[in-house]
Structure 1
Amino acid sequence: MVDVHDPATRSRNMAAIRGSHTKPEIMIRKTLHAAGFRFRLHVRDLPGKPDLVFPKYQAVIFVNGCFWHHHDCHLFKWPATRDAFWREKIGRNVENDAMSVTRLQAMGWRVATVWECALRGKNRLAPTVVTERLTAWLKSDNETLTVRGE
């Protein structure tokens, strides 16, 4: 029997969480590629290692999971156990996100964030709506865009 309170087991479970190439990210990549956009993935030289980088448009897109990045939607709920651990971990993620966006903008990059709730859950948007919003933003001069569920 697996002891979920054992630190070694917890560590293995956390290691199974994907940080890149997630289903929401792949969905965005496929639709934008089909729309004719070309991009780079997870550029390490940029703050926050954005999920998609569009050098031609001087733009980046982050595809954020609502739980890991503390989004105020129905997909986020604080875990019932280890409250201090989770508040510190998720709080650090939020701080890192804000710092990355600030640094990217200071470097002249435009930043879009697509939240997981825009792609799945009871308030999700149609994939065409998400693609249309991202396409319009990429072709615009707007500095930022946030796409979230309705």
Structure 2
Amino acid sequence: MSARTDVFEPAVRSAVMRRVKGRDTGPEMKVRRLLWALGARYRLHRKDLPGSPDVVIAGRRLAIFVHGCFWHGHDCTRGARTPKSNTAYWTAKVARNRARDATAAQALTDDGWRVETIWECEMKDEAALRARLAGVIGRR
């Protein structure tokens, strides 16, 4: 029998990981509500654009990504945290996510799109987030 570092059985861990959503997350919904309140109208998860941005305002050629700090390797406290178990896997996983994000952002920029990345940790200050979004969409 091999030594296990996970506290869950494989089937339970699989169920836990299946519940991690990739779209319609809490932070994404908050950004969408603020944009709507500011009068912005948008499309979601456009597959025809590199990286399938979370929010797209086509008239302003603006692509918005809402990233979780841990999953996308932000430089804040939560994003800089490295799991104690299976460290090599998670380090490589986050590095791949960062590389994919950079490639998508560059492709969008090369196609003439403006790219904004909203981090999960920025959700704490709603007034600052609202002001940032208003500035991005040109509604100050």
TM-score by length of 1: 0.83
Amino acid at match of 2:46: V
Q: List runs of 5+ in structure 2 lacking aligned partners.
A: 1-6
Matches within 5 A, 1:12-31: 12-31=15-34
The alignment status of 1:100 with 2:104, answered yes or no, reads yes
Q: Is the CA contact 1:118–1:130 (under 8 Å) kept in the aligned structure 2?
A: yes
Pair 1:54-2:57 in alignment: yes
Partners of 2:110 and 2:21 lie apart in 1 by 29
Q: Which runs of 4+ in 1 moved over 3 A?
A: none
Question: Residues 39-69 of structure 1: CA distance to partner in whole angstroms, max 9, x if unpaired?
Answer: 0001111111101000010001101000000
1:78 aligns with 2:82: yes
Contact kept? 2:40, 2:137, Cα under 8 Å = no
Q: Tell me the equivalent position of 1:130.
A: 129
Q: Higher RCO, 1 or 2 (CA under 8 Å, sep at least 6)?
A: 2
CA distance in structure 1 between the aligned counterparts of 2:128 and 2:93, rounded to whole angstroms: 32
Instruction: Provide closer, same or farther for how the CA distance between residues 83 and 5 of structure 1 changes in structure 2, counting only shifts above 3 A.
Output: farther
Q: CA RMSD in A?
A: 1.5
Q: TM-score, normalised by structure 2?
A: 0.88
Does the CA contact (< 8 Å) of 1:57 and 1:139 recur in 2? no
Unaligned 5+ runs, structure 1 = 141-150
Q: Select the residue among 10, 14, 20 that pairs with 1:11.
A: 14
Give the conservation status (yes or no) of the 8 Å contact 1:62–1:112: yes
